Amino acid sequence: MSLSHDDVARIARLARIDIPAAETGEVLQQLNRVLGLVDELRAVDTTGVEPMAHALDARGGMAQRLRPDEATEPDRREAYQAVAPEVADGLYLVPRVLE
Amino acid sequence: MTWEIVVGLETHTQLLTRSKIFSGAPNAFGAAPNAQASAVDIALPGVLPVLNRTALEYAVRFGLATGGRINQRSVFARKNYFYPDLPKGYQISQYELPVVEGGSLRIALADGEKTVRLVRAHLEEDAGKSVHELGGDSAVAAGRGMSGIDLNRAGTPLLEIVSEPDMRSAAEAVAYARALHALVVWIGICDGNMQEGSFRCDANVSVRQPGAPLGTRCEIKNLNSFRFLERAIEYEATRQIELIEDGGKVTQETRLFDAERGETRSMRSKEDAQDYRYFPDPDLLPLVIQDAEIERVRATLPELPEARCERFGRDFGLSAYDAGVLTSTRASADYFEALVASSAAEPKLCANWQMGELAGALNRDEKDFTQNPMTPEALGGLLRRIADGTLSGKLAKEVFDVLWRGEASSADEVIDKRGLKQISDTGAIEKLVDEVLAANAAQVADYLAGKEKAFNSLVGQVMKASRGKANPAQVNETLKRRLAR
């Protein structure tokens, strides 16, 4: 499987990465090399093997730990907002995105 | 041409936990902006999510209540998209292996019942909120084209419940949404507050010729009232039918319902967003639920609406209709049982008053059973005085109004203070009847001449003379006896 220039443009748009037209060729080659690696993995016979959802998700492996339902976090808005680019009235300010 | 409307719903219910799904920030509505957004909720680098045990328990509770299968192994996934109120750039959700699969919900329709199948119910986190209309200090920022972001809602636990496309009209979709709403409140996993966004529906709507394969669907997002849900589906179905009849084709897309204009319109920003590039979240191990845990949760389930409805019919001798209305919410069903216990009256009398006067008063004042000012003890005391003949039905309604307005704490107090006790003393009623007969010789003559209507007029005169307090049955009987002589 290999990608086209259009695929690269679409993936870049979904990931919000700005790739200048001059660089798409290079990115295309890099991505195709990654896909080549995936193809090698695919060649392995995995019949009867249940897909893992996590590297530690082996038989007898670890399961997710849970937290008791208690509100433990204090309000630290001031500290968090001290490093934000712009805030007002307790809100983080961002360029408007309207539906 | 006849068209069939096909609707499936995806419902987001906010779970009634004390803390967020993956952080220890409080999960409460109405705090100052960002005062309940922890490092995890605002996605500071290096933080890790840890699942809330109660959120999981509530999901299991829902699965058990709807007869679904609880997956002993389920997986959290990242749903990737960019929006300012989603600071991580992905929402933690479940994709391939949700907590609950299958199950069903019975809904009541005007012409009977229907079972709606459920596809799945999965856990996920809510996003934050964008604030476009800024005031105060931030009004200046709005002028520069900025929006505010409040992340208090980010990380609120959601159970997304997905139905099969089993509904065939807007009315059926509303009946399903109402039944689902009643259930999640009933089993205590959601407060059901639609104004605050605790229960929100997305509707997938398509149309087809009866018997044909499913048509192309459109998804209408974020419908937070039953009325909007109904109007949005009706509008959307009509739009699709007109489009097809004019030779056009429905495009699969996400649409918004504009309540002011009563129409749906396309959300262009979502055109690209269908590709969420889900993958298992490496921050969260697969979730394993043991049998013992499932059984422990099963033991916490209250008696469910269907079982309670059947029991009301069986134990209280109520009709299926009465039992269904009384068990439409858990608060209503609890109220009814308390009312029967405190009044010691016939369950049918209790049902009539709860579904009549009480429901009417609640409706008039736009309250539901959780905001009911009339305690079952207060109404029970009133019904006891009807049952023992102290109050006529008419006087009882007056006493009800006094109690409803909070002007007295018990029916007995009102009866004492206002002298409303029904007159059932035979001697006193005979005296009243004789006085009325003596003063209305003409009507007596009419009656004796065969004019039946004159009798009712005489009853009215006696009731008036007693200021409504005479026992009507006794007045009738005494008048007949006197006039027969």
Query: What b/e readout covers B353-388, taking b as 16+ CB neighbours within 10 angstroms?
Result: bbbebbeebbeeeeeebeebebbbebbbbbbbbbee
Give me the half-sphere count of Cα atoms (radius 13 Å) on the Cβ side of residue B91. 24
Q: What is the pLDDT of residues B324-363, one digit of tens each?
A: 999 989 999 999 999 999 988 899 999 999 999 999 999 9
Q: Sign (positive/negative) of CA torsion B274, B277, B280, B283?
A: negative
Those of residues 202-261 in B touching chain A at CB distance below 8 A are 256
B277 at A interface, C-beta within 8 A:
yes
Across the interface, of B24, B25, B286, the residue whose CB is closest to A63 is: B286
Cβ-based contacts of B146 with chain A (< 8 Å): 86, 93-96
Inter-chain touch A69–B150, beta carbons under 8 Å: no
CB contact under 8 A, A88 and B37: no
Q: Do B84 and A94 touch (CB under 8 A)?
A: yes
* Residue in A71, A72, A95 closest to B146 by CB: A95
- pLDDT number for residue A87: 93
- The chain A residue lying nearest B270, using CA atoms, is A99
Confidence of residue B134 (pLDDT cuts 50, 70, 90): confident
Whether chain A has a CB inside 8 Å of the CB on B152: the answer is: no
Lowest mean pLDDT among B33-47, B173-187, B247-261: B247-261
pLDDT for residue B424 is more than 90: no
B282 contacts chain A (CB < 8 A) = yes
pLDDT band at B14 (very low <50, low <70, confident <90, very high): very high
Q: What is the pLDDT of residue A60?
A: 61
CA distances from B347 to B309, B387, B441 (A): 14, 11, 44
Contact B52 A67 (CB under 8 A): yes
Cα→Cα distances B264→B163, B174, B233, Å:
21, 17, 9
> Of B29, B398, B358, which Cα lies nearest the Cα of B193?
B29
Q: For position A59, what pLDDT does the model report? A: 58
Whether the pLDDT of residue B271 is over 70: the answer is no
Q: Cα separation of B72 and B96, whole Å? A: 14
Where does residue A75 rank: exposed (0-12), middle (13-18), buried (19+ CB within 10 A)?
Answer: middle
Choose among A14, A75, A93: nearest Cβ to B148. Answer: A93
Distance from CA of A74 to the nearest CA of B (A): 7
Nearest to A16 by CA among B147, B47, B80: B80
Chain B residues in contact with A69 by the CB 8 A cut-off are 17-19, 52-55
- State pTM to two decimals: 0.83
pLDDT digits (tens, 9 = 90+) for A5-47: 888 988 898 888 999 988 989 999 999 999 999 999 999 999 9
Q: How far apart are CA B267 and CA B349, in angstroms?
A: 53
> Would the pLDDT of B269 be above 70?
no
Closest alpha carbon to B297 in B54, B33, B11 = B54
Instruction: Band the pLDDT of B53: cuts 50, 70, 90.
Output: very high
Mutate which: A62, A69, A70, A83, vs B, most B CBs within 10 A: A69
| Residues of chain A with C-beta less than 8 angstroms from the C-beta of B83 | 97
Predicted pLDDT at B160: 98
Give Cα separations from B48 to B35, B40, B45, B54, B97 (angstroms): 20, 7, 9, 18, 21
Listed residue (B320, B197, B218) closest to B263, CA to CA:
B218
B24, A86: Cβ pair inside 8 Å?
Answer: no
Enter the tokens of residue B245.
């009849």
Phi, psi values for residue B232, rounded to 5°: -65, -45
Q: Which residue of B has its CA nearest to A83?
A: B44
Q: How far is A25 from chain B (nearest CA, A)?
A: 23
Q: Which residues pair with B78 in a beta bridge?
A: B92, B279
Q: Contact at 8 Å (CB) between B357 and B400?
A: yes
Residue B165: the pLDDT is: 97
The answer to whether residue B43 neighbours chain A at the CB level (below 8 Å) is no
State chain A's mean pLDDT as an integer: 89
The answer to whether the Cβ–Cβ distance between A91 and B17 falls below 8 Å is: no
Residues 287-346, chain B, touching A (beta carbon < 8 A): 287-288
Interface residues of A toward B, Cβ cutoff 8 Å, are: 13-14, 16, 53-57, 62-73, 75-77, 80-81, 86, 88-99
Asked if residue B476 has pLDDT above 90, the reply is: no
> pLDDT exceeding 90 applies to what percent of chain A?
59
User: What is residue B116's predicted lDDT score, i.e. its pLDDT?
Assistant: 98
Tell me which residue of B126, B136, B125, B142 sits closest to B32, measured CA to CA. B136
Contact A96 B146 (CB under 8 A): yes
- Report the pLDDT value the prediction gives residue B27, as an integer from 0 to 100: 96
Dist CA B94 CA B54 (whole Å): 17
What value does the mean pLDDT take over residues B35-46? Answer: 96
The reported pLDDT for the residue numbered B273 is 53
The answer to whether the Cβ–Cβ distance between A96 and B256 falls below 8 Å is no
Q: Which residue of A has its CA nearest to B272?
A: A14
The nearest CA of chain B is from the CA of A26 a distance in Å of 23
Own/partner pairs, A54-57, CB within 8 angstroms, 24+ separation? A54/B280, A54/B282, A54/B284, A54/B285, A54/B286, A55/B282, A56/B285, A57/B285, A57/B286
In percent, how much of chain B has pLDDT > 90? 66
pLDDT at residue B371, rounded to an integer: 85
Contact A86 B138 (CB under 8 A): no
Please tell me which residue of chain B has the smallest CA distance to A62. B285
Among the partner-chain residues B26, B44, B82, the one whose CB lies closest to the CB of A16 is: B82
B 361-400 → A contacts, CB under 8 A = none
Average pLDDT of span B443-460 = 86
Nearby residues of A15 by Cβ (< 8 Å), 6 or more positions away: none
- Calculate mean pLDDT across residues B86-100: 96
Whole-number average pLDDT of chain B: 91
